[in-house]
Amino acid sequence: MSKYVNPPRFDPDDLKGLIDPYGGFLYLTMYWRPDPKATDPEMPGEKLSTSSYIPVFSGEPCLCGSGKSYGECCQPKRLWHPICLNPGGPNMGYSLVKPQKARFRDVDGDAIHERLMADRRLRCTDASRASAFWIFFGDPSVEEEYGTHCFGDIELKGNHTLLVSTMSDLRMQTLLALLQEIVGDLLSEPRITYDAVPVINKETGKAQEQRPSRSQTSRQRKKRKRRW
């Protein structure tokens, strides 16, 4: 999802006998942390992707964010779908992982670069005009032992294309709202694309990729167009 690291992946063989796919969620996380090997460890730093397991009982709220109980929602489903943390921290809940990108073309790179550099909610990890890069840490940020949670990336490519990468619908909504606030007058409607979602078949234990249907992508794009 970014030039620093690939999206979190997992090997189902590592999970056998350790956790119950009918008893909880696979939790995917990306952290940003200083690079101890770098001359300046804060720049550019490094990203770390992790996966862990969150147990859930049938009567507890489902962590996918549906508002239903786990037993009525994700527990009986055939595919085991990972979740990620919502911006704002654990009190804001979780969402199903849905990797996606928003691309803005023909932007005023100089003006956008200046405004994004001035916003404290974004951490610049590469200030070059050829491919400037920011990470959204949330507001407030969420710190853990592995580093600071990354809720999305913003990349200015060639000073004329703005690319936003996130792991869920809510994260994308949050980042697009942030961009609307900071540089909305400099942007047109984005083009939204979706990447495959890593899932595990609960019966076979095999990992697979689930791609959004074309109709789903089209509906999401129309919905975002009205909002933007």
- Domain ranges within the chain, ordered by starting residue: 12-98+196-214, 100-194+223-227
Q: CA–CA separation, 20 vs 17, rounded Å?
A: 8
Amino acid 93: pLDDT: 92
What lies within 8 Å, CB to CB, of 203 at 6+ separation is 78
pLDDT tens string for the chain (228 positions)?
Answer: 344 344 455 555 555 555 899 999 999 999 988 877 777 655 667 888 988 899 999 999 999 999 999 999 999 999 999 999 999 766 789 999 999 999 999 999 999 999 999 999 999 988 887 789 999 998 888 888 888 999 999 999 998 999 999 999 999 999 999 999 999 999 999 999 999 998 999 998 888 888 876 544 444 555 555 455
Are 162 and 142 contacting, i.e. CB atoms less than 8 angstroms apart? no
Beta sheet of 191-194, edge-to-edge order: 122-126, 131-136, 152-157, 161-166, 100-105, 191-194
Cβ burial of 78 (10 Å; 0-12, 13-18, 19+) is exposed
Q: What does pTM read for this prediction? A: 0.84
Amino acid 6: pLDDT: 43
Amino acid 173: pLDDT: 96
Q: CA–CA separation, 180 vs 187, rounded Å?
A: 8
Q: CA–CA separation, 74 vs 137, rounded Å?
A: 28
**How would CATH label the architecture of 100-194+223-227?**
2-Layer Sandwich (3.30)
- The overall longest dimension of the chain from CA atoms, in Å, is 53
